[in-house]
Amino acid sequence: MLRDGLRKLRYRARRMTSGVFLVLSAFLASAVEGVEALTIVLASGVARGWRSSLTGVGAALAVLAVIVAALGPALTVIPIDALRLVVGGILLTFGLQWLRKAILRASGFKALHDEDALFAQELAGAQTAEHVERAGVDWYGFTLSFKGVLLEGLEVAFIVLTFGSTQGSIPLAALGAGVAVVLVAAVGFAVRAPLARVPENTLKFAVGVMLTTFGIFWSTEGAGGSWPGEDAALFGVLGFVAALSFASVALLKRRRRTMLVAAEARA
Amino acid sequence: MNYLVRFGRFWWDFVVGDDWVAAALVVLGIGATAAVAASDIAAWWVMPLAVVVVLFASLRRAAS
């Protein structure tokens, strides 16, 4: 009786751990993509008019909803081990891309992501483009917003579907993503400026660590391995990936200093 | 055809990005995990080790 109770409690604790991870990962990744999409939509709205820009946003959201509605149920019928193997592998490759860029940015080997500079660049492009009206909307403004939201949104949809299906809860992942998108949209609407104060590079670092953590965890399970401590091992993997990332930043910073000193000595 | 190529390139850039060697090493790591797990040896350590190798190789190339 007591053993059964403890087993149920342990099971619930594991489900909660992975649930918290799931919501947090979807939230952070979606917030980063939301900030990037907002910059494009703002540039389009300011330069080409809000009607065209918001029509583009609406059309892109409709396309994304269709993609999620079509692929979501399809993913749930794939056997969980096959799904974890494929999704874990893709997520690990995808996550390592984020992590690699974040480490290179943090160590000074790659320029930091600057929303103000991107906004100025998009705005300049939008202001000089030719005015072509189709179906009552400015085509450039519509296309710019549509492409921006669709491309950034596809990453969010990908994360929601992969995280949600492998953890057995697409609604929970969608909740994390939805809260992030609504929050970014509300703040963006209130300030009507790119969210340059959002620590985007730090968020990208955190998302890279989380994507890589989930990728390692699921690809191992999908390939037939099992973790000591089951879902609780996620914390261990997270700590390992975070430590590896910080160590990489420290090593690369030292390498960069050495390279700069050598370059100065040559000059 | 052009649309299909663009579609394929989008997904390639999206998932693999500019470092296909890293993606290939991840696939090798998964294969090694499956091989170790199939021989009834604990296989949980293989992917973390593979990630150390992938990250080291990828960062070294990018920073050189």
Range of weakest confidence among A13-17, A63-67, A104-108, A245-249:
A13-17
Is residue A120, in this structure, part of any structural domain at all? yes
Whether A224 and B55 lie within 8 Å, measured CB to CB: no
Tell me the nearest-neighbour CA distance from A161 into chain B, angstroms.
15
Q: Which residues pair with A138 in a beta bridge?
A: A133
A101-137 pLDDT, tens digit per residue, is 889 988 888 876 666 777 777 777 777 777 777 767 7
**ipTM score for this prediction:** 0.90
- Alpha-carbon gap, residue A206 to B62, rounded angstroms: 20
Domain that holds residue A142: 18-266
A78-88 pLDDT, tens digit per residue, is 777 788 888 88
pLDDT of residue A194: 66
Share of chain A above pLDDT 90, in %: 15
| Closest to A155 measured CA to CA, from A33, A9, A63 | A33
A208-256 pLDDT, tens digit per residue, is 898 899 889 989 998 999 899 877 888 899 999 999 999 999 999 998 8
pLDDT of residue B46: 95
| pTM exceeds 0.90 | no
Is residue A5, in this structure, part of any structural domain at all? no
Q: Which residues pair with A133 in a beta bridge?
A: A138
Q: Which residue has the tokens 């050495």?
A: A258
Tell me the nearest-neighbour CA distance from A224 into chain B, angstroms.
6
Is residue A150, in this structure, part of any structural domain at all? yes
Tally helices (H) and strands (E) across chain B.
3, 0
Is residue A73, in this structure, part of any structural domain at all? yes
- DSSP letter at A137? E
A222 in Cβ contact with B33 (< 8 Å): no
Q: Find the radius of gyration of the CA atoms of chain A.
A: 21
Whether A93 and B47 lie within 8 Å, measured CB to CB: no
